[in-house]
Amino acid sequence: MSQSPRPAVSSRKPPPMAPMGKARYRVMMTLVLVGLALLAGRIVDLHVFDRSFLQGQGDARTLRVDAIPAHRGMITDRHGEPLAISTPVVTLWANPQDLPDDGIQRLQLARALGQDLDALNARIERYADREFMYLRRRLTPEAAQRVLDLRVPGVHKRAEYKRYYPAGEVIAQLIGVTNIDDQGQEGLELAYQPYLSGEPGRRRVVKDRRGRLVRDLEVLREAEPGGDLTLAIDQRLQYMAYRELKAAVDEHEADGGVLVMLDARSGEVLAMANQPSYNPNNRTGLDPQGLRNRAIVDVFEPGSVMKPLAMSALLETGKFPPGSVVDTSPGWMVIDRYTIKDIRNYGELSLAGILEKSSNIGMSKLTLQLDDPVVPERYRALGLDSAPGTGYPGEASGSVPSPRVWSSSQWAALSYGYGLSVSALQLASAYTAIANHGQRLPPSLLRLDEPPAGEPVIDPAVADRVLGMMDQVVAPRTGARRGMVPGYSVAGKTGTVRKSGGTGYEEDAYRSLFVGIAPVSDPRLITVVMIDHPRGDSYYGGAVAAPVFSRVAGNTLRILDVPPDRVTGDRESADDAT
């Protein structure tokens, strides 16, 4: 068999590299070596000479500055009893991207959180592209620890504070509430938010890439706790006032009510109760009507409780000496086509009798004898057209009309408490001038170290004279007799005001009021009671509001150890003799 010839092997060598190719090769190798040298030099520089750069980059990925929550200041009553306190709680959060997909772990986490598994999974899915989501806010430390003990990856904690209100609904509107972030939202919590909140601190910590705390390094700034707020409120009196007000509102099936009690010597608010109310510790199903502090932010026509204040202005004119008599027959009169009525024809009445019988005709006839609007001027001097200045959010300013041309009907209406609007707090503050020999005291929601300087508004002799007239109003056989307090003298005035609606005054809707000062010999308390729209046959101030005053004032005077100034039975015998 013949074989194929093998190819001849060439004995030629490859041609030598051209001089230009050798040069390019050397250049490339030189560049590579120089680059490696520079890189090595930079590595040496960063690790030996300039370590701060790498340290900074590492720190930027592990060092964090966390906030240290500040403890919110406490709110207490005048004796130091807590009304609002902050307790430590724990908020659990998670990085959804680090949470495990394992169904068992998810189920354990949901059960520990007290949540539905499907709802938890849906939330995790919704936040899947983020690095933060809340799991549960403001848990007790014990409950939070049970969740953390599961050691579920991606679950973390944060220390916070939660507000707690020991008095609950009893003083809810005045104190107000904070939100879930412990920021004041209503009432004094809102008014004093910067003072109560304090200043959070800052600390530097080391965390791993999952956000877990590795080590505390240093405190950059200590947290500064908020300041404590001491109110003028006496919690003992507040509980008692709220109980009596609530009982009266329930008994008369009323829409609501307010009670304001001032210290007659200082203007401090010793009690301020509102109905309806709410539980600030559990706001589930909260009725917004209960949030309003009606005693400060609501205004209303006060009616006959203004007559003593108007009488003080009339007496100061000097035109009505002590023996003045007004003929109120036949019990009604027409002014500017408006008909003014008394409950009945009282005939001739003394000035004190006009207040005792609460005669609209008597007040109107006295007022129309004057040429100057002294009554509205007195109301303004008493602060009834300006905010009380307590600092409470939304406090009402009231309204006293000032038309360019006064009509007779306007003058007359103001004298018996119609045509203006006031708040319960303004009304109580105005009566400090009657209780303090003509010196009006501004109301204070905070405890005062010293009584403020009063503003002279009424002639001292006139103020004392009106106080004596009011003393005669609260007597055994008067319409205000239910405001009497056994053992103590009481100066008071009732009021029954027809409520106004969109089409004018309503036929069967009233506000029942009583203003009382006790004891007359040395005034200690000024109390305003207003019951809004009592239903049933009893709607007069003397029948609805006066009994509330009697119970509250009587208990308060005994709690404060005020000595009795009138022996029971002496007043009745004296009245019988007259």
User: Is the preceding omega at residue 14 within 30 degrees of 0, hence cis?
Assistant: no
The whole-angstrom separation of Cα 530 and Cα 544 is: 9
The whole-angstrom separation of Cα 384 and Cα 313 is: 14
Tell me whether residue 524 is exposed, middle or buried, using C-beta atoms within 10 angstroms of its C-beta: 0 to 12, 13 to 18, 19 or more.
buried
Return the structure tokens found at 453. Answer: 């300087």
Q: What is the 3-state secondary structure (H, E, C) of 289-303?
A: HHHCCHHHHCCECCH
The whole-angstrom separation of Cα 477 and Cα 544 is: 17
The whole-angstrom separation of Cα 164 and Cα 84 is: 6
Known catalytic membership, residue 86: no
The whole-angstrom separation of Cα 239 and Cα 273 is: 9
The whole-angstrom separation of Cα 338 and Cα 500 is: 16
Using the Cα atoms of residue 445, residue 449, residue 454 and residue 460 in order, give the sign of their dihedral: positive
The whole-angstrom separation of Cα 223 and Cα 501 is: 53
Collapsing DSSP to helix, strand or coil, 446 comes out as strand
Q: Yes or no: say if 390 and 296 are a contact pair by the CB < 8 Å rule.
A: yes
The whole-angstrom separation of Cα 254 and Cα 314 is: 35
Return the structure tokens found at 412. Answer: 């007359």
Q: Among all chains, which residue has been given the structure tokens 């009671």?
A: 529
- 485: nearest Cα among 561, 439, 553: 553
Q: Yes or no: say if 152 and 108 are a contact pair by the CB < 8 Å rule.
A: yes
Render the burial of 394-408: b for 16+ CB within 10 Å, e for the rest: ebbbbebeeeeeeee
Write the CB contacts of 542 (distance below 8 Å, at least 6 apart in sequence).
478, 479, 480, 481, 482, 483, 494, 514
Catalytic residue among 304, 409, 421, 423: 304
The whole-angstrom separation of Cα 184 and Cα 190 is: 4
The whole-angstrom separation of Cα 130 and Cα 445 is: 46
The whole-angstrom separation of Cα 361 and Cα 137 is: 63
Which of the 8 DSSP states describes residue 422?
Answer: B
The whole-angstrom separation of Cα 526 and Cα 518 is: 7
Tell me which amino acid residue 332 is: W
Bridge partners, residue 341, by sequence: 332
- 261: nearest Cα among 77, 444, 531: 444
Kindly list the catalytic residues: 304
